[in-house]
């Protein structure tokens, strides 16, 4: 029941209309009997939004495109990992002190940990914000990184930051890796036939992970499965970053099955499975 003491959490993004975060966080709040609600806001200006968070005592926020970097100057403290990545996706309001974290990087490595990352060669396709978070998460675990990207300058820049090797997209067929992670939007609905990594470079036993989760099984994952690779869908990372946010706000680890089921029951994901 919503009362005068109900707390508020939110997601700040623009556009934010298709965000699945309200669904999963409200489900977890309800399941854990926490007197709070989670809403989506679409501010024009992140500085003004942060003033509102402070003045209205909003307890925490998920930060999404396009504010992950521009929010940083308006925070009181930024976690060292988020500083290195240069992006914040979670704000915790600790008694008026706004603290910024990045749960994307640990989320990217969480589904891979069971397979072991240390001493493996990991190829990241893409060099944008998602790639940065994934690359730093892998680096922390001791993996050897290859970056490939459509635009050379961005790819080289990321490779430089994470002490990885850059291989141009034109030479993607030559890449020999134990793990491939697609961090680009290639393969996302409606362009579901697009392949972010060539079939001929996929070998049995490789681990192939996609951050795209609409469709849940992208062309990359179908192709990889047919080639005998181990596949990890994009929902794994999406849910892991949300779960880590929930933990930062409440100290409680949410039930992963409930979170996954709430996403799978939404029309946008269901239609694309």
Residue ranges binding ligand ATR (CB under 6 A): 126-131, 149-151, 154, 183-186
Do the Cβ atoms of 21 and 13 come closer than 8 Å? no
Catalytic residue among 68, 95, 120, 140: 68
Which is nearer to ligand ATR, 93 or 183 (by Cβ)?
183
Q: Is the dihedral of CA 15, 20, 21, 25 positive or negative?
A: positive
Question: At closest approach, how far in Å is the CB of 46 from ligand ATR?
Answer: 16
Do the Cβ atoms of 101 and 92 come closer than 8 Å? yes
Which is nearer to ligand ATR, 127 or 180 (by Cβ)?
127
**DSSP run (H or E) holding 6:** none
**DSSP run (H or E) holding 122:** strand 121-125
Neighbouring C-beta atoms of residue 28, cutoff 10 Å: 25
Q: Which residues contact 270 (CB under 8 A, 6 or more apart)?
A: 264
Catalytic annotation present for 120: no
Question: How remote is the C-alpha of 112 from its chain's centroid?
Answer: 14
Which is nearer to ligand ATR, 129 or 164 (by Cβ)?
129
- The residue of the chain with the least Cβ separation from ligand ATR equals 128
Query: For 52-101, where are the E strands, in sequence order?
Result: 60-63, 77-78, 90-94, 97-101
Q: Which residues contact 169 (CB under 8 A, 6 or more apart)?
A: 148, 149, 150
Dist. CA 132–CA 81, nearest whole Å: 11
Which is nearer to ligand ATR, 128 or 168 (by Cβ)?
128
Cα–Cα distance list, 271 to 48, 175, 257 (Å): 36, 34, 20
Do the Cβ atoms of 34 and 254 come closer than 8 Å? no
Which is nearer to ligand ATR, 21 or 149 (by Cβ)?
149
Question: At closest approach, how far in Å is the CB of 196 from ligand ATR?
Answer: 7
Question: At closest approach, how far in Å is the CB of 149 from ligand ATR?
Answer: 5
Question: At closest approach, how far in Å is the CB of 270 from ligand ATR?
Answer: 23
Question: At closest approach, how far in Å is the CB of 172 from ligand ATR?
Answer: 10
Residues carrying an active site annotation = 68
């Amino acid at each position: 029941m919503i009362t005068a003491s109900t707390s508020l959490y939110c997601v700040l993004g623009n556009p934010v209309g298709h965000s699945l975060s309200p669904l999963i966080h409200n489900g977890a709040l309800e399941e854990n009997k926490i007197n709070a609600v989670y809403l989506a806001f679409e501010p024009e200006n992140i500085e003004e939004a942060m003033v509102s968070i402070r003045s209205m005592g909003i307890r925490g926020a998920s930060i999404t495109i396009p504010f992950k970097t521009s929010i940083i100057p308006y925070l009181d403290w930024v976690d060292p990992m988020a500083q290195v990545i240069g992006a914040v996706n979670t704000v915790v309001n600790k008694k008026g002190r706004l603290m910024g974290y990045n749960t994307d990087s640990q989320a990217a490595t969480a589904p891979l940990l069971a397979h072991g990352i240390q001493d493996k060669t990991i190829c990241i396709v893409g060099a944008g914000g998602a790639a940065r978070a994934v690359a730093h998460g892998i680096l922390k675990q001791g993996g050897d990184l290859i970056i490939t990207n459509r635009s050379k300058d961005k790819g080289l820049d990321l490779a430089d930051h994470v002490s990885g090797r850059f291989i141009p997209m034109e030479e993607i067929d030559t890449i020999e890796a134990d793990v491939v992670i697609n961090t680009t939007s290639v393969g996302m609905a409606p362009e579901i036939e697009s392949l972010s990594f060539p079939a001929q470079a996929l070998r049995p036993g490789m681990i192939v992970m996609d951050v795209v989760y609409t469709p849940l099984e992208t062309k990359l994952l179908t192709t990889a499965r047919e080639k005998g690779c181990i596949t990890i869908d994009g929902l794994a990372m999406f849910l892991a970053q949300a779960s880590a946010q929930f933990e930062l706000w409440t100290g409680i680890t949410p039930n992963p099955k409930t979170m996954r089921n709430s996403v799978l029951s939404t029309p946008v994901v269901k239609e694309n499975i």
